[in-house]
Amino acid sequence: MGISDTATSGWDLVRSRPGTFVVVLLFLALGLDLLGTLLTGEMAVADLGSLLWTGLMQGLIIGLAGIGLSMTYSILNFANFAHGDYITAGAFTGWSVTYLIAGFGAADAADLLLLGAGGSVFGAGLDIGITTTPLAILGGLVVAGLATIAIAMGVDRSVFKTMREAGGISLLIASVGVAFALRYIIVFIYTPSNRGTTAANLVPQFDVWVIDGMVQINAHDLTILVASVALMLGVHVLLQRTKLGKAMRAMADNENLALITGIPTERIIQWTWIIGGGLTGVAGYLTVLWRGTITFRLGWFLLLLIFAAVILGGIGSIYGAILGGVLIGLTISVSQVWIPTDFARAAAFGIMILILLLRPQGIFAGRETA
């Protein structure tokens, strides 16, 4: 093929997919602009490193929570809008246990379980942190996962199971109702006030040298990194190496065929809630550990970002949810180079739309559990 033929083919591609051409040009322009700001010294490499690290932390949390949502869609074929409030419920129950363990004997048990509602107890006053109260953090992390599993299975047994044959739209509407019910039960128990949860001044900081400055990483960042990566690897092994994982993938591909071949579909659904619920509760707990504050709107604030990650990665793909979460987290953080912080979430949805113009079916394309 000669130069003229190559040019003709390229022009045909531009005419047939102008949206793709515009997206590529936009990404190229942003990349060149970022490189220019680094080369001219307008922005330090260390500052970019800090943004990337922050984006990675947020992306890991979104990706971890997105696994459960993606699994639900793969197996049950509906978008669960209660997923965000599962995150909130897991966070509150886990932190109740953390407060109780960290403050045992130092404050009233009821005040501790209610996370100091009314200002009776403060997380900073209890010196809560991964290095100062490791048993309290570990205990809360485990309980957050177990409590969310119990809630998810309870809701499935009482609401979703009875509607299983009604179709995805009916289940989606029911999940919206479940979300509101859970949210205001949490408000009733814990009150709507936001509160701090950790003693930020006691969290060890580590300085990592990056060319022209330092990137600060703290112990809670490392906790999120280790816990998220370990759980994601665990899900990968489960799906690829175990009988349960193979059954889940078979059911995601074709539920009727899975039923005919003797796969206990109802049991697989239960395991979907167990695995997805556990990961969701842990994600909620880790979010609070990282931010240092908790609010009853926690899951709602994350839900749309989680949906964006799942759609971006390819609806139904576990790996797509993880990669989509990381991309969304990095976009929110790095976009602050060009736009104000208040618009960072909008940038995440913008990047989702742009990438879907290039690949409408999502990065990992296909309704698969893995």
The pLDDT tens digits of the residues spanning 321-362 come to 999 999 999 999 999 888 888 888 888 888 888 777 777 777
Q: Which two tokens stand for residue 115?
A: 């996370």
Domain membership flag for residue 104: yes
The 8-class DSSP code of residue 151 comes to: H
Domain membership flag for residue 31: no
The pLDDT tens digits of the residues spanning 158-171 come to 999 888 877 778 88
Q: Which of 346, 300, 362 is nearest to 89 (CA)?
A: 300
Residue 106 belongs to domain spanning: 46-358
Q: What is the value of pTM for the model shown?
A: 0.90
The pLDDT tens digits of the residues spanning 96-115 come to 999 999 998 888 899 999 99
Domain membership flag for residue 16: no
The pLDDT tens digits of the residues spanning 275-297 come to 999 999 999 999 999 999 999 99
Mean pLDDT estimate for the chain: 87
Q: Which two tokens stand for residue 221?
A: 């960042």
Rounded Cα distance between 43 and 356, Å, is 30
Rounded Cα distance between 166 and 178, Å, is 16
Total structural domains within the chain: 1
Domain membership flag for residue 234: yes
Tell me the sheet residues that pair with 294.
Answer: 195
Q: Which two tokens stand for residue 245?
A: 């994982």
Does pLDDT of 235 surpass 60? yes
Binned at pLDDT 50, 70 and 90, residue 20 comes out as: low
Domain membership flag for residue 290: yes
Domain membership flag for residue 57: yes
Q: Which two tokens stand for residue 179?
A: 């979300």
Domain membership flag for residue 32: no
The pLDDT tens digits of the residues spanning 113-162 come to 999 887 788 888 899 999 999 999 999 999 999 999 999 999 999 999 88
Domain membership flag for residue 364: no
Does pLDDT of 367 surpass 50? no
User: Exposed/middle/buried for 200, CB within 10 Å: 0-12, 13-18, 19+?
Assistant: middle
Kindly report the CATH number assigned to the domain that includes residue 263. 1.10.3470
Rounded Cα distance between 350 and 22, Å, is 14
Rounded Cα distance between 228 and 72, Å, is 19
Q: Which two tokens stand for residue 320?
A: 């797509």
For position 121, what pLDDT does the model report?
87
* Higher-scoring residue by pLDDT: 210, 142: 142
Among the residues of the chain, which ranges form H helices?
3-16, 18-39, 45-76, 83-102, 109-113, 134-155, 168-190, 219-241, 243-253, 255-260, 265-291, 298-313, 318-334, 344-358
